[in-house]
Homo-oligomer: A and B are copies of this chain.
């Protein structure tokens, strides 16, 4: 299908918006009127520029408050419309969006509104323009698509159809399946936007919080399925008003936007059970052919997590790993990377080695995720189709071909072939075990990497969520907010259906200088079956856990039935507690390296699926106290 994006979804000048849309691979754009008015380019220049970039101008929008008014006012409105139709001829745009009247001038008179829409369409047809009529959710008289369609049917003019906007329809919580009954040729345009579920004034919600399909709470696949079933064959076009996208790099936003449409089209193609099979790599639905992405990726867990640190910090990371029962078992054949293992749990430590010329500068950090997948080549093809930036790999002759892409925060995501134990191919880049001369790990037994916590850049939180969703099939949880001493942090966890791979993304609710709220922390959470035993090993290795205030344990005594001796052991180990209807969660934190990187040890009891967010405030306050010591 043809893919379009409204210029209002992107930042910059009109020219910058067009270039960004073309670079991402869009086929067309909707020109937002204010972008044109504010542009020094005249309509013919805009047309020529778009053409030279390979972009069609699929829609001019919006025309407002035209219909359903008294005759005098309609005459003036029609004059105004003629001027805009003439402009559209210059611009080379053949469809105009007309929003339902949202002013007090709109009369409660459907016959009048339909007659005026007919006249408007008749006038438009003189210019070769089609009118796509859309119900705004806050329209005065016409506020749902069914009403808009009744007026269009009543007006009955070949140059008049409806424009369907997923936000206006899905924000009303109705059943959109009636769309199937609209003749496809009368659906002139389809605008897609997702949005987080919010209970707020629909106009504010619409103007500030829309996001790309797959980033919010609406089921855009089902919605678009209805529109295709009706026989719609026009573009899938994104119209997203979003405060962050308006202010972010337009090229990144455009890539994020196209990723969202690729995933949507793929999803439509795969869910089209009732349709006849199309060519390989394609699906079909109604009258359109749908591009299909390479097969979905089903991760089976973390092959490894890589952390990087400067020499003195790397030594502190080694102490923590040792105390957590990891042993340094292998060295990378060509890079200053050590492999630390606790059973099958593996952490790579990338540290500066001046002899080799590799130097990590900056605070200790999680720099790469190794994701185990059945077919790394397929995963990489899918990632590239989803515009994930591939990472160049310096290939030393001895190295295996390990493919990686960059996540929106810069973290490398490696696709590693599944394999039993030490048989995984990526391990061949490392020396055979054991490495001599390094201390062995302690006795603590870990069961896996439970999750990784990554602080995200403010501008790219929704992008990151869609990145992991589309590349790895992770599903986002609902967001939660935690109060750090220096501001609120929003967290959203993503996990695959089998809970084999969990990533928790964090972001300050404010941008800029507040981006480091919560200490800018990144962490690796390690799973275990006996958190008390691991805590004991840590202390025996001479490492004190993050200090949790006694006040926390007093409060725990108030609100839980934990036995006093259990609480006492928790206090000794700095162990925190959370509970859900499904089970319990026990967890503690190591000290933080460089004020940024720490480890967590977690034990899930029963079916607990969370991340201990209820303890986030206590954890971040304790880390703040740790920093100021």
Seen from chain A, the residues whose Cβ lies within 8 Å of a Cβ on chain B are 11-13, 16, 33-34, 36-40, 42-43, 80, 83-84, 87, 198-201, 204, 243-244, 246-247, 458, 483, 485-488, 508-515, 517, 547, 549-552, 554-555, 557-559, 617-618, 621-622, 624-625
Contacts and interface: CB of A to CB of B under 8 A. Distances in A.
Contact of A38 (B458, B515, B618): B618
Contacts of A517: 247
Contact of A514 (B204, B247, B618, B622): B247
Contacts of A510: 243-244, 247, 458, 511-512
Nearest to A79: B558
Most buried by B among A487, A550, A551, A552: A551
Nearest to A87: B554
A43 B87 CA distance: 72
B509 A512 contact: no
A458 B554 contact: no
A558 B485 contact: no
A243 B509 contact: yes
A80 B11 CA distance: 53
B83 A558 contact: yes
A291 B488 CA distance: 35
A39 B549 contact: yes
A43 B555 CA distance: 12
A617 B34 contact: yes
A487 B37 contact: no
A575 to B, nearest CB: 15
Given A13-B625, A486-B11, A624-B13, A40 B547 contact: yes
| Interface SS of chain A | helix
Contact of A515 (B512, B515, B552): B512
A396 to B, nearest CB: 38
Contacts of A624: 13
Nearest to A10: B485
A614 B11 CA distance: 19
A4 to B, nearest CB: 20
Contacts of A621: 13, 38-39
Nearest to A550: B42
A551 B35 CA distance: 10
A247 B483 CA distance: 10
Interface-centre pick from A12, A37, A199, A513 (highest chain B CB count, 10 A): A37
Contacts of A558: 80, 83-84
A40 B485 contact: no
Given A512-B512, A551-B43, A618 B487 contact: no
A265 to B, nearest CB: 30
A37 B200 contact: no
Nearest to A245: B487
A488 B40 contact: no
Contacts of A36: 551
Contacts of A557: 83
Nearest to A244: B510
A18 to B, nearest CB: 13
A64 to B, nearest CB: 11
A243 B482 CA distance: 11
A74 to B, nearest CB: 15
A204 B547 CA distance: 32
23 contacts: A11-B486, A13-B485, A13-B621, A13-B624, A13-B625, A16-B485, A38-B551, A38-B617, A38-B621, A42-B551, A43-B551, A83-B554, A198-B201, A243-B487, A243-B509, A243-B510, A246-B483, A247-B486, A247-B487, A247-B510, A247-B514, A511-B511, A512-B514
